Chain A
């Protein structure tokens, strides 16, 4: 158990819908990262927050957005969902924004039908 929690574990929704994935980092960690894992693209970095502020952006679609709240939990919002958005979404956390070791949560499996 990494200490990072993600909810929900599974999510099934229809195309065009909007969902919110939630992540609670390890106690004391200030930095949160979101990754998408799909069969064809592998593990792709989406976005990083550090202490409430966006720190880095990767291959995140405009339909996707995220935020980190004052209590340091983070939410990833996915809207206008398409079949191709079906994937595992992982959240990871680290103590600071430049720590080399990231601790991954169990992931949320999103299925878009």
Chain B
């Protein structure tokens, strides 16, 4: 199956700073999804990207799928304390089901 890697596992930023994290694969991905899990919460779907070079924006969040479809990035502009949580990338199986294979996630903390 398709595997995705997220490094590092933790990142600390000052409120107002920008934040970028990456999701990488050694193989070409058919799609990439991003989820956010707040502390003590459950994963919440943010976005799905399927096209090479695709860029999607949600307010201060910008998601990009690499041209070779082997990586994806999540960029947060001017972080806020509400951005705290763990961000996971995941690949959805495109066979007869929709099972997700998740990366290990990156936990973002924001200093006020």
Contacts and interface: CB of A to CB of B under 8 A. Distances in A.
Task: Judge: A and B partners, yes or no.
Answer: yes
Interface of A: 2, 31, 33, 35, 42-45, 48, 50, 55-56, 58, 90, 92, 94, 97-107
Interface of B: 31, 33, 41-45, 48, 88, 90, 92-93, 95-105
Nearest to B88: A43
Given A31-B98, A43-B88, A94-B98, A101 B45 contact: yes
A42 B87 CA distance: 12
B17 to A, nearest CB: 26
A32 to B, nearest CB: 11
Given A42-B102, A42-B104, A43-B102, A98 B42 contact: no
Nearest to A57: B99
Given A42-B105, A100-B31, A56 B99 contact: yes
